Structure 1
Amino acid sequence: MIVAEKKGNYSPLDELKKSYSLSRINEYPINDAKTIIEASIYQDATLKGIKDENLPGEFVLDDISEMILKMFWMLTPEEIVSALKMDRFGYFEEKSQHYQFYGTEYVAEILKKYCKWKRKKAEEHNLSRVPERQIEFKPDHDLIDREYLEVILSDLKKGKSYRHTNAYLLIKSVPNEFKPTEKQYYSLLEKEEKIMEEEKDLKSKEEKDPLIVKKIIREFNESLKVKAHQRVFNIIVCSWLYKTKIKTN
């Protein structure tokens, strides 16, 4: 099943009301759920004018699917499509900026805005999935964020490498004084790309099967730009957390 955008007079509120009778994304078989998410994301990226070379590849789509199934499992596929469309059409107070970098944190930002909008409309219109309940279940995003932060801090205390700590979703929380200058940022990016090139070369040399080597190179080329940016974000976030949450304790 692929969820297509509805044509005609689009009403986010009408779409929301219909969603209460539809299956949530986590109720689909895992492979079907990923197919639906990836098709919706690719469609949105295309409609937003993302250049062909910057369209999300397999690595990014997998990462986005994992994030949605963990953090936004309570949404229906139709809601995911509607949330992305609402952002394109400017329904939210502030439109999310992708800067030709369509990644996991960008999609998470849009879906968080949608959930906030959804809670407000559910209260205003007394919407509910279960008749005897007054208001639809409210995902505790503050709790999700706290648990996410605790995992990162635990990894840092164990000495895990900054670049391999999955911290990039917190990049917007980093105060400006802990962010690098543009020159420093691109220096870090260049360094990470070189390190990834070395990792790819080492992995290719260790593999004897030429078909697998070909796959390694293809996946590397598809994910290099996004993964390098994410690594730099990881480093920036972890450096900030170490200086403010760990070193001070």
Structure 2
Amino acid sequence: MKQTYEFPIIKDCRKNDVLNTVDSYVSADATLRGVKDENMPKDEFLNDIGDMIYMRFWMISVQEIQIALKMNRYGMFEQKSEHYQLVNAELIADILNKYCKWKQKKAMEYNLSRKPVSHQIEHQVNHDLIDREYLEVILSDLKKGKLYRHTNAYLLIKSVPKEFKPTEKQYYSLLEKEEKIMEEEKDLKSKEEKDPLIVKKIIREFNESLKVKAHQRVFNVIVCNWLSKTIKI
């Protein structure tokens, strides 16, 4: 753990290098945990995972992502994060949150810190600040009129109070609606594309991600409805 303070943090690294390394780590972890070939994270999910890491975990090093994934596989956290054949941003965020809390606790126990050349800075993860910054990004999207279903707000679904969550029947009604809208978007995109190979790719990627993206879009709607009713936008 002491060595992790010598690695450069994600914010100070080239973005493409970080994203390529994250893709490699996440794919390797999925393989080691027995994710089936057809459920391996594809480009869309890997891109979403990369965006989430840049937004929420820029203060750790890219090497620590590999460490966190390994610790989770080895059952070193109080509760293991299970994939259930789905590797997405929510799963990786859950694992990295556990790692950051573990690291902060150990750093306090052993008085560890990040040491730049000129002076020493205590390196502690401020989860409240990260969550506030993430919320500000979502609120900014809403102020600009971005559609609820297209706002990257689904990671806040656990924070939504029960009274703002739909019933099971309402949830599946929303899910059915989003799947239908996505089908229409796919059909429109396919008709506009002339290259049959690209059309085939559009359809394949749509079929691979439909269920996950539809659930995320429903979560986005629920979170944004909650925010619009409780926070002045």
Question: TM-score normalized by structure 1?
Answer: 0.81
TM-fit CA distance, 1:157: 4.2
1:142 aligns with 128
Matched residue count: 231
TM-fit CA distance, 1:158: 4.3
Range with greater deviation from structure 2 (87-96 or 112-121): 87-96
1:100 aligns with 85
Q: Which amino acid aligns with 1:140?
A: N
Cα 1:164/1:134, change in 2 over 3 Å: closer
User: Among the aligned pairs, what percent are the same residue?
Assistant: 68
1:70-85 equivalences in 2 (<5 Å): 70-85=55-70
Q: Which amino acid aligns with 2:211?
A: K
2:152 aligns with 166
Q: Does structure 1 conserve the Cα–Cα contact (< 8 Å) formed by 2:55 and 2:134?
A: no
Q: Does structure 2 conserve the Cα–Cα contact (< 8 Å) formed by 1:192 and 1:231?
A: yes
Local SS of the residue matching 1:102: coil
Question: How big is each residue's C-alpha offset from its partner over 1:193-227, in whole Å with a ceiling of 9 and x where there is no partner?
Answer: 22111101101111223333233223323332321
TM-fit CA distance, 1:27: 4.4
TM-fit CA distance, 1:186: 2.9
Q: Does structure 2 conserve the Cα–Cα contact (< 8 Å) formed by 1:126 and 1:134?
A: no
Range with greater deviation from structure 2 (30-39 or 156-165): 156-165
Cα 1:27/1:106, change in 2 over 3 Å: same
Quote the Cα distance in structure 1 between the aligned partners of 2:48 and 2:82. 19
1:36 aligns with 21
Quote the Cα distance in structure 2 between the aligned partners of 1:185 and 1:99. 21
Local SS of the residue matching 2:6: coil
1:1-249 equivalences in 2 (<5 Å): 16-130=1-115, 132-133=119-120, 135=122, 137-246=123-232
Q: Which amino acid aligns with 2:120?
A: R
TM-fit CA distance, 1:99: 3.8
Local SS of the residue matching 1:50: coil
Structure 2 gap segments, 5+ residues each: none
Quote the Cα distance in structure 2 between the aligned partners of 1:151 and 1:75. 20
Q: Does structure 2 conserve the Cα–Cα contact (< 8 Å) formed by 1:24 and 1:76?
A: yes
TM-fit CA distance, 1:139: 3.5
Quote the Cα distance in structure 1 between the aligned partners of 2:170 and 2:82. 22
Q: Does structure 2 conserve the Cα–Cα contact (< 8 Å) formed by 1:59 and 1:222?
A: no
The 4+ residue runs of structure 1 with deviation greater than 4 A are none
Cα 1:97/1:62, change in 2 over 3 Å: same
TM-fit CA distance, 1:26: 4.2
Q: Does structure 2 conserve the Cα–Cα contact (< 8 Å) formed by 1:26 and 1:33?
A: no
1:8 aligns with none
